[in-house]
Amino acid sequence: MHEYSIVSALIEQCEQHARANQATKITRVDIKLGVMSGVEPTLLETAFETFKLDGICREATLCMTLQPLVIKCLDCHQESVLAERSIVCPACNSYRTQVLDGEDMLLMQLEMEQEDER
């Protein structure tokens, strides 16, 4: 299950951002997950809940926005937003399409906190 290695890299990226911002805790991790990213959302969430326990993300909530597939047809020039994993133009049935969005997993935002020094 490659979701474990993806989550490991995600948590490492979160830790780098926390260090750069002198944060001691991450409370929320927002990601955008494309339908063509090859990542299964439920498995990713399970992996995150498992791996977050030992680090700075232990109290973090993972918030996923699922990005539909956005394609542009090179024949009829129609841009289409598709919920399914298909690269066929729904307007003209052409396979000559370009994917504009929906293939990536991106870290969009982090909510971080700093411990009070009393």
Q: Which residues belong to the annotated binding site for Zn(2+)?
A: 73, 76, 89, 92
Q: What value, to the nearest 5°, has the Cα angle with vertex 33 and ends 22 and 96? A: 135
Q: Quote the crossing angle between the two packed helices 41-51 and 3-20, to the nearest 10°.
A: 50
Q: What is the dihedral of CA 63, 68, 69, 75, to 10 degrees?
A: -150
Cite the annotated binding site for Ni(2+) by residue number: 2
Binding-site positions? 2, 73, 76, 89, 92
